[in-house]
Amino acid sequence: MTLNIIFSKSPKNIKDTLILPVYEGKKTIGTADFLNNNLKKTVNATLKKQKSFTGKKDEIYVIPTPTESDIDQIILAGLGDKKEFKALNVETLGGKLWPILKQHKCDKVYAFTSHLGLAKKNDEAELAAHLSMGLKLRSYNFDTYKTDSKKNKLPKITFGTTAQNLASALYKELSAAADGVFIARDLMNEPPNNLYPASYVSMVRKDLKSLGIEIEVFDEKKMEKLGFHSHLAVGMGSARKPRVLIMRWNGLPKSSKAEPIAFIGKGVTFDTGGISIKPGPGMEDMKMDMGGSAAVVGLMKSLAARKAKANVVGIVGLAENMPSSNAYRPGDIIKSMDGKTIEVLNTDAEGRLVLIDALTYIQKTIKPKMMIDLATLTGAMMVALGTEYCGAFVNQDKLWDQLNEASSQSGEKLWRMPLDKAYKDEMKSKIADLKNLGGRFGGACSAAGFLQHFIKDDKVAWAHLDIAGKMIHKSDSATVPAGGIGFGVRVLDRLVANNYEKK
């Protein structure tokens, strides 16, 4: 089910639940023609006397209404200090409102921004759209495997705003990104007995093909023929064979000579660590070791849904990393697509082996002007940045500036990490060209250095996003229920919109 949100200049027959955003310190509701005098007095009295609600950021207070009123409850929602207000931040408020709407089993919800008296219609449109985005993001629910799950009807939400058309257009873009986040979360939350390389392909094909995205799949025989040797090595221990999934969105006319851009995702659908097996506690979360690939799928869905005017290729490398008599081993020397030999020191450093063949294939075939890979690559990244930021390794300052701007617009936080020749040199082997594991320190940096060996032309803008710390929320947050986050979709959607679409 999809949350239904519409925007109207003057909603009629207001019933059930009313949401009123309020700036901090406001003692009256102001011009609010949608309220009758009695309800306006009730709201104003609350604003003046209720000490537990002052309009601080994300404060929420529910006012019960008289039984004869068509409105069952009025929810005051704090916007914080008007001088410091940013529309993006209101998504958190929208997310925190969602559990209250569920608790009260609301059928119809009306939210207003018209009473705020904002001078610029664009400001009001952004507020309404981002509040709606917060509600939608938090409405996500993964209950596919609950046998007693009741499919509760989602409320219909109407926003009363003087900037109806602007708000609707902005929310349409945001909502497309949310749909991309949702498919990424779905893939991440699927159990590994049901999500493996072949089934992953089937799920994505079913979801994306109707949007006009071209899909191509390589099975293990085609992968062998094309030279995906290091990728295939990772999947040797599993009965479920690897796959490569390529998605193409052609948003420009066929006559366009614009070079495409590319996004590459690590898709290890379950990572035991292989022969270098992981500890048992927490291993269940390794079903989400395909979070980078999920972000790429979500991005492609978002771009297609809003008909982005760009040519974009997404490629994800899919494999299961399992221990068995057929599995690759520490000490093995394997070959990559570009011909380099790699000494395997640890089979749990497998994600980079999947990525390098995809990176090589993309550079050989489509020759992108910009490419970004995403992977839950290293625990070292989490040690460095925790769970608040994603580490970004970027080879050109211009691309970093573009990513940083997209980060501030989307709320998905990035922190630039160093790319240095020393990290590349650290990954050289004494008995092969390279080794797949560096020393004890700076593991995220040496992993990026390993990948850099496979970037053929420094003139091509490239970024590696290590999203290990942004894989999962163990408990509910404002806009993310417990489970897969779907990180990366929104920041990359903004990156494309800002810099790579034909205006």
Name the 3-class secondary structure at 75: strand
In the residue annotation, 352 being an active-site residue is answered as yes
Ramachandran angles phi, psi of 353, nearest 5°: -75, -30
353 closest CA partner among 375, 370, 369 = 375
Q: Which residue(s) pair with 248 in the sheet? A: 214, 313
Q: How far apart are CA 106 and CA 152, in angstroms?
A: 11
In the residue annotation, 278 being an active-site residue is answered as yes
DSSP states along 5-43: EEEESS--S--EEEEEEEETT--S--S-TTS-HHHHHHH
Name the active-site residue from 240, 301, 352, 490: 352
Q: At 27, list the tokens.
A: 């003692």
The angle at the Cα of 297, spanning 258 to 340, to the nearest 5 degrees, equals 75
Strand-pair category, 108-112 with 414-417: unpaired
DSSP category for residue 459: T
Q: How far apart are CA 193 and CA 269, in angstroms?
A: 10
Given a contact cutoff of 8 angstroms between Cβ atoms, the answer to whether 270 and 196 are in contact is yes
Given a contact cutoff of 8 angstroms between Cβ atoms, the answer to whether 446 and 425 are in contact is no
Q: At 259, list the tokens.
A: 């070079």
Element holding 483 (H helix, E strand): strand 483-484
125 closest CA partner among 78, 156, 176, 160 = 160
Given a contact cutoff of 8 angstroms between Cβ atoms, the answer to whether 15 and 141 are in contact is no
First to last CA, the chain: 33
The beta strand positions in 383-440, using DSSP E, are: 390-394, 414-417, 434-435
The beta strand positions in 356-440, using DSSP E, are: 370-375, 390-394, 414-417, 434-435
Name the active-site residue from 278, 367, 369, 456: 278
Given a contact cutoff of 8 angstroms between Cβ atoms, the answer to whether 112 and 71 are in contact is no
The angle at the Cα of 293, spanning 287 to 299, to the nearest 5 degrees, equals 130
Contacts with 330 (C-beta within 8 Å, 6 or more apart), sequence order: 275, 276, 344, 345, 346, 347
Q: How far apart are CA 394 and CA 420, in angstroms?
A: 11
Contacts with 240 (C-beta within 8 Å, 6 or more apart), sequence order: 196, 197, 198, 269, 320
Q: Which residues form the catalytic set?
A: 278, 352
